[in-house]
Amino acid sequence: MSNAAPTHAIVTVASWEPRWKASVEALLVENPHAMLYILYSTRYADWTAEVRRDVLAAAHDAGTEASETQIDLERPGTAWQAAVDVTVTLHAAGVTGVALDGTTMPREMTWFLLHALGELRMDVDYAYVPVGSYGDWLSKESLEPRLVLKRSGILFPDKPTCVVAMSGFDLGRLNQLVSYFEPARVEIARQIGDRYGNLGRNNPQLSENARHADIFEFDGFDLTGASHAVLKKRIEPLVPDFNVLLASLGPKLASVTAFEITEELPEVALVYIPSSSYNREYSKGEDMARRTVRRIRRRDQGERWQADLSERAGTMGASVASPSN
């Protein structure tokens, strides 16, 4: 993305986590002439009020046009409409490229925005800043799994179901997913490495419903395209025989890989498990050394994605390389 282009915007969902501010500030530095568009959850408006003020002030100081909009993230229909409104507004303002700050953005909202921005042919760079250290838990009180609006695949009643889950350390949600859909087949992409105690947390037993799951290793932090290829290779042969439901329960970066899989394989449905309870003390600090910015691959772009990736790997060094575990 050009640093000086006035046709660019930063889109983010405000969070109380310290890394959110760090991520937006980095994007403001990299995109000094971009518009800043902050979405914030009505439910958690109080939790984010102070930091939003700080970020808006920083944008103002940098001479960046900034605005903020409340959204109801608990109601997917409303959140989807907010994603559409943002996209249409940016498009009408002549924006052609967006830096999407996925650092603390709920996966479902990320997918909504990626879909809407893609529909209007906008280039999207996805930015992500890992936390410095994690607390005990981020979210609890999960609700029923749901298929994602506009990304619900092509499903047929006479096909059995296959759940493909990119798992993290929270296997409770994986068990919930399997128990809900009772799929004929379960594929688990297990996150490799020991990042943030992943190995230690990734060992609880699967429920009896998933006892025959096929488990393969996967690096959700990978940016080289290798993990994308691993996942695609597992999923593509399943598509003719199964309704494939793809869930991203591990690293957030993997949710972007999941989106790109559905760009290539539109029959595959994305599944989301919402939560209604968040831990305000979940994360501490930010890990800017492992900050990532990567171009989103759209179905109408074909091979351009790989070229973008190579180009950016050359120009941005560590920020687009695969973070080691």
Partner 1 sequence: MVLTNPFEYEAASSLDPERISSWFIDDHNYARFIKSRRNIIIDGDRGSGKSMILVYHALENELARAEADGVDPDLSNVGIYVPSNNPLLQRSEHKQALEGAQRDIISERYLTFTILAAIGKALKSVEDRLDDAERGTVLDELRYLMPADKLTGVASPSTYVSRYVRDALRIDQEALAKGLGFDFSFDTSSFYIHILPVLEALRNTKPFTQTHFSLLVDDAHMLEPYQQRIVNSWLGYRDHSLFSLKVAIAGFRNYDLKTTFGGNILEGHDYTAVNLYRPFQNLESEYGMFAVKVVERRLRQAGIIAKVQDFFPPSPAFVRDLDNAKKKAEALAVRRGIDPNDRKAFNDFRYKFGRAIYFRERSPRANKPQYSGFETISHLSTGVIRSLLNLCYTMYERQLSVSKKAPKLIPSDIQREIILEASDKQWEFVRGELDKSIAHCSPGDAAMIERLFRRLAEYFRQRLLHHESEPRVLVFSISAFDRVRDAELIRLLELAEEAQLLYVRSGTAKSGGGRENYYVLNRMLFPAYGLDVQGQHGRASLKAEDLLAAARHDKPFPNATALDPPLEQGELFDV
Q: Give the Cα separation of 89 and 70 in Å (integer).
A: 15
Check residue 233 for interaction with partner 1 (CB under 8 A): no
What is the dihedral angle through the alpha carbons of 254, 258, 263, 268, rounded to the nearest 10 degrees?
Answer: 170
Q: What is the CA radius of gyration of the chain?
A: 19
Q: Which two tokens stand for residue 143?
A: 């609700």
What minimum distance in Å lies between the beta carbon of 216 and partner 1? 21
Q: Which residue carries 């996942």 as its tokens? A: 231
> Given the complex with partner 1, which of 28 and 246 has the nearer CB atom?
246
Sheet holding 35-41, edge to edge: 66-71, 35-41, 8-13, 97-101, 123-128, 292-295
Under rule CB under 8 A, which residues in 127-146 are in contact with partner 1?
140-144, 146
Q: Name the residue nearer to partner 1 (CB basis): 160 or 302.
A: 160
Residue 249 Cβ vs partner 1, minimum distance, rounded to whole Å: 11
* 129 versus 162: smaller Cβ distance to partner 1: 162
How far apart, in whole angstroms, are the C-alpha atoms of residue 247 and residue 220? 12
Q: Confirm or reject binding of residue 153 to partner 1 (CB under 8 A).
A: yes
- What is the distance of C-alpha 39 from the center of its chain? 15
What residues between 32 and 51 interact with partner 1 by CB under 8 A?
A: none
Positions 48 through 77 that interact with partner 1 (CB under 8 A): 75-77
Binding mask 205-224 for partner 1 (x = CB under 8 A): x-xx----------------
When asked if residue 203 is in the footprint of partner 1 (CB under 8 A), the reply is no
CB 274 within 8 A of CB 177: no
- Chain residues binding partner 1 by CB under 8 A are 75-77, 80, 84, 87-88, 116, 119-120, 140-144, 146-158, 160-161, 170, 172-173, 175-176, 179, 181-182, 184, 205, 207-208, 243, 245, 266, 269, 276-277
